[in-house]
């Protein structure tokens, strides 16, 4: 058992407490990311508002303070090291604002667009944006396919990210029309099998092929297996 696991096995820390913020700061070191007290304070506000709104509408099944810290916030910021500062980032199926809002908090220079097909989830995203006074970020109730038909957004995003992932092929199909010429797609997944990895080979062939980088990791404290899949045109 790691030191991280030992610390959290015997304690329950409420969201926003000094200990809860410390869990995020320490856990983020796993990804070579360093959120400070101000940023973890913003994470806490996001988390508390998520649970408050969740009492009236179904935003998340994750309500335990530790799981909120790890599965929502730490998992959201795991890809931060591969995202260039000042990029335009699109978060497809953002839900409760993950991973787009935590990434915006962590990397303020990002220009972020959140989209979701659930009107109530977009309302929550807009509430968090207002509450945290975040600039250069917007939330829209729209499908990715419809966004791609709007001229300003076709091939407009440097980074397109998705955590609500049905399949990698489906994500690529949605994201490709929105991706800038030398842009990058990032898919956040749970445990991946060798069969899945083999099935992705077709994404690396043909004139529109992508370079694919797979990074496997375990969530701090909980040990759940995760994967970051980065797809980029050569």
Residue 28 pLDDT greater than 60, yes or no? yes
- Model confidence at 4, in pLDDT bands (50, 70, 90)? very low
For residue 175, what pLDDT is reported? 95
Both structure tokens of 81:
């090291």
For residue 132, what pLDDT is reported? 99
Percent of the chain with pLDDT over 90: 80
* Residue in this structure with the two tokens 């030191």, named with its chain if needed: 3
Burial call 16-52: b when 16+ CB within 10 Å, e when fewer: beeebbebbeebbeebebebeeebbebbbebbebbbe
pLDDT in tens, 166-194: 788 889 999 999 999 999 999 999 988 77
Q: How far apart are CA 99 and CA 182, in angstroms?
A: 22
pLDDT in tens, 61-110: 999 999 999 999 999 999 999 999 999 999 999 999 999 999 999 999 99
For residue 18, what pLDDT is reported? 96
List CB contacts of 134: < 8 A, sequence separation 6 or more: 101, 104, 105, 128
Burial call 102-137: b when 16+ CB within 10 Å, e when fewer: bbbbbbeebbbbbbbebeebbebbbebbeebebeeb
DSSP conformational letter for 18? H
For residue 214, what pLDDT is reported? 92
Q: Which residue has the higher pLDDT, 28 or 194?
A: 28
For residue 7, what pLDDT is reported? 47
Q: For strand 137-141 and strand 111-116, is the pairing parallel, antiparallel, or unpaired?
A: parallel
DSSP conformational letter for 164? S
Q: How far from the centroid of its chain's Cα atoms is residue 136's Cα? A: 17
Average pLDDT value for the chain = 91
pLDDT in tens, 100-148: 999 999 999 999 999 999 999 999 999 999 999 999 999 999 999 999 9
Q: How far apart are CA 39 and CA 54, in angstroms?
A: 22
pLDDT in tens, 153-168: 999 999 999 997 778 8
Q: Which helix (H) or strand (E) holds 36?
A: none
For residue 5, what pLDDT is reported? 46
Q: What separation, in Å, do the N-terminal and C-terminal C-alpha atoms of the chain show?
A: 41
Q: Would you list which residues are annotated within the binding site for S-adenosyl-L-methionine?
A: 93, 98, 116-118, 144-145, 163
Q: How far apart are CA 52 and CA 90, in angstroms?
A: 26
Residue 6 pLDDT greater than 50, yes or no? no
| In the chain, alpha helices (H) | 3-9, 18-28, 37-54, 65-67, 75-77, 100-106, 119-131, 144-147, 168-175, 194-199
For residue 203, what pLDDT is reported? 67
For residue 3, what pLDDT is reported? 43
Q: Would you list which residues are annotated within the binding site?
A: 93, 98, 116-118, 144-145, 163
Q: Which domains does the chain have, with CATH numbers?
A: 3-232 (3.40.50.150)
Q: How far apart are CA 165 and CA 171, in angstroms?
A: 7
């Amino acid at each position: 058992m790691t030191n991280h696991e030992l610390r959290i096995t015997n304690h329950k820390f409420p969201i926003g407490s000094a200990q809860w913020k410390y869990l995020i700061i320490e856990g983020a070191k796993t990804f070579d990311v360093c959120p400070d007290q101000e940023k973890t304070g913003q994470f806490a506000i996001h988390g508390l508002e998520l649970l408050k709104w969740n009492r009236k509408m179904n935003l998340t099944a994750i309500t335990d303070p530790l799981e909120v810290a790890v599965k929502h916030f730490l998992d959201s910021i795991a890809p931060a090291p591969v995202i260039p500062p000042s990029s335009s980032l699109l978060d497809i199926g953002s839900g409760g604002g993950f991973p787009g809002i935590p990434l915006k908090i962590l990397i303020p220079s990002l220009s972020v667009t959140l989209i979701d097909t659930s009107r109530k989830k977009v309302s929550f995203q807009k509430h968090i944006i207002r509450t945290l006074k975040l600039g250069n970020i917007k939330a829209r109730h729209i499908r990715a396919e419809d966004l791609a038909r709007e001229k300003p957004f076709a091939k407009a995003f440097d980074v397109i990210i998705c955590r609500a992932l049905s399949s990698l092929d489906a994500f690529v199909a949605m994201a490709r029309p929105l991706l800038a010429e030398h842009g990058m797609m990032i898919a956040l997944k749970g445990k991946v099998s060798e069969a899945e990895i083999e099935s992705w080979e077709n994404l690396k062939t043909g004139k529109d092929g992508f370079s694919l980088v797979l990074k496997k990791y375990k969530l701090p404290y909980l040990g759940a297996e995760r994967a970051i899949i980065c797809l980029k045109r050569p």
